[in-house]
């Protein structure tokens, strides 16, 4: 019996025999009997260049079992380039700036927006601006949560904690594990989602009333 696909669209993966990260663009069951899953991916180096559109740079269909999740902090030599961090000043009328460095006194040096001038602040005067993200936990039949989680960009109020979501492209189910997870590198997930109305139910004999 074939279970759900091991990856989702938007996941960053790498070939088990390689080191270059790729983004999952498409997933399908194999032909003709759908005994395993196949994926088509694009190398990030091609995606971020001007080589052409997806159909010119995406890889051929390959078995999903040929890939593993990309984990640069463990084994891979290629490390993602960190995005500039945006900070706001504390107060009733916050000002915004991009972090540049720390000076010799430990103050944080920012390039202020929109003027572009450079100013320094004590760390306690600033708060990092993070996108609103939610953490999802993958669900599997007969086993509950798999331990696999991902953070995605969301709009505040769009989902609530413990909502159950169906990822339409992959058929995977996810539970909203944490709201406002403050993830600095959320997945740019392109899947379509459906929220499934659900509530916790415990089956069994009712507890005796006193």
80 inside domain = no
97 inside domain = yes
1 inside domain = no
143 and 191 together in one domain? yes
Confidence of residue 126 (pLDDT cuts 50, 70, 90): very high
What's the CATH code of the domain at 114?
Answer: 2.30.30
Domain residues for the domain of 157 are 133-196
202 inside domain = no
203 inside domain = no
Structural domain count of the chain: 3
Task: Answer whether residue 146 shows pLDDT above 70.
Answer: no
60 inside domain = yes
0.75 cut: is pTM over it? no
Task: Answer whether residue 139 shows pLDDT above 80.
Answer: yes
Q: β-strands 37-43, 62-63: how paired?
A: antiparallel
112 and 137 together in one domain? no
110 and 65 together in one domain? no
Annotate 53-95 with DSSP letters as a single string: -HHHHBPPPEEGGGEEE--TTTT-S--PPPPPPEEEESSSS--
4 inside domain = no
- Mean model confidence pLDDT for the chain: 78
64 inside domain = yes
């Amino acid at each position: 019996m074939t279970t759900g696909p091991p990856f989702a669209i938007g996941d960053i993966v790498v070939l088990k025999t390689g080191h270059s990260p790729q983004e999952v663009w498409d997933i399908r069951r194999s032909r003709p009997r759908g005994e395993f899953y196949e994926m088509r991916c694009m190398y990030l180096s091609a995606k971020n260049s001007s080589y052409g559109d997806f159909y010119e740079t995406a890889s051929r269909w390959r078995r999903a079992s040929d890939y593993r999740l990309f984990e640069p902090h463990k084994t891979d030599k290629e490390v993602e380039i960190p995005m500039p961090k945006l900070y706001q000043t504390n107060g009733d009328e916050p000002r915004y700036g991009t972090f540049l460095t720390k000076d010799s006194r430990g103050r944080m040096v920012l390039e202020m927006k929109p003027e572009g001038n450079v100013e320094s602040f004590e760390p306690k005067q600033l708060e990092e601006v993070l996108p609103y993200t939610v953490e999802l936990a993958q669900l599997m039949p007969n086993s509950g949560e798999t331990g696999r989680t991902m953070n995605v960009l969301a709009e505040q109020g769009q989902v609530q904690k413990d909502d159950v979501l169906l990822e339409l492209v992959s058929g995977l189910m996810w539970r909203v594990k944490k709201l406002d997870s403050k993830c600095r590198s959320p997945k740019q997930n392109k899947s379509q989602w459906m929220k499934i109305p659900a509530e916790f139910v415990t089956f069994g004999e009712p507890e005796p009333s006193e």
